[in-house]
Amino acid sequence: MPRGSRAVSATGIYHWIARGVNQKTLFHRPDDYKRFLDLAGEYKAALRIKIYHYCLMGNHVHFLLLAADISALSSFSYYVLRRYAYHYCGAYAWKGQVFQRMYKSLPIENESYLLECGRYIEQNPLRAGLVDRPEDYPYSSFRFYAHANENGVLDESPAFLMLSEAMDERRRIYSDYINQARPYESILDEALI
């Protein structure tokens, strides 16, 4: 049965998820994470995509991004995943598929959901039990927003910019918001994954 057309976001914003085939580990060394982010940065620039949030987990990745049109999103997905798969196969003498055949691109139709989706993405390492605090996980966008760590991949989220006019206050509000405990998130995790 053929897959239906990919849903198009009226805002151009998507929660983009790519998974390793059969839950395959995608990142074994810090250089692997760096390579993936470098590819995302390269193709975001070439395709005029904005990346607002990300989290690279062991066997999957989350991005919150803005694509001018669905073809830019498709090209971004194709080139980033394909070139990372080449890297992976060469680095680990792997022969075979690296990513699941289809990535997910969940349309974000309401810009007010930007902050909530970014929170969900940056909470991934906590829900997986990898760290106790989001700032302890080096492969997400949290440190960029909460601690002003430089990051050549990210574009500031419009929702983040609206939190306050004062940068220090904006970062404090953001950090507090991301660290809120919400019991229903495990249910959301199951639905997305």
pLDDT (tens digit per residue) in 123-156: 999 989 999 999 999 999 999 999 988 888 999 9
Q: What's the confidence (pLDDT) of residue 184?
A: 64
How many CB atoms within 10 Å of residue 50?
17
The answer, yes or no, to whether residue 1 has pLDDT greater than 80, is no
In the structure encoding, which two tokens stand for residue 192, read together?
């997305």
Assigned CATH for 13-192: 3.30.70.1290
108 closest CA partner among 92, 124, 119, 93: 119
pLDDT tens digits, residue range 47-78? 999 999 999 999 999 999 999 899 999 999 99
Which among 160, 161, 154 has a CA at the least distance from the CA of 139? 154
Number of other CB atoms surrounding residue 105 within 10 Å:
23
Cα 60 from Cα 140, distance rounded (Å): 12
Mean pLDDT of the chain: 91
Per domain, the residue ranges of the chain are 13-192
Orientation of helix 167-178 relative to helix 114-122, angle to 10°: 60
- Residue range 162-191, pLDDT digits in tens: 999 999 999 999 999 998 876 666 666 666
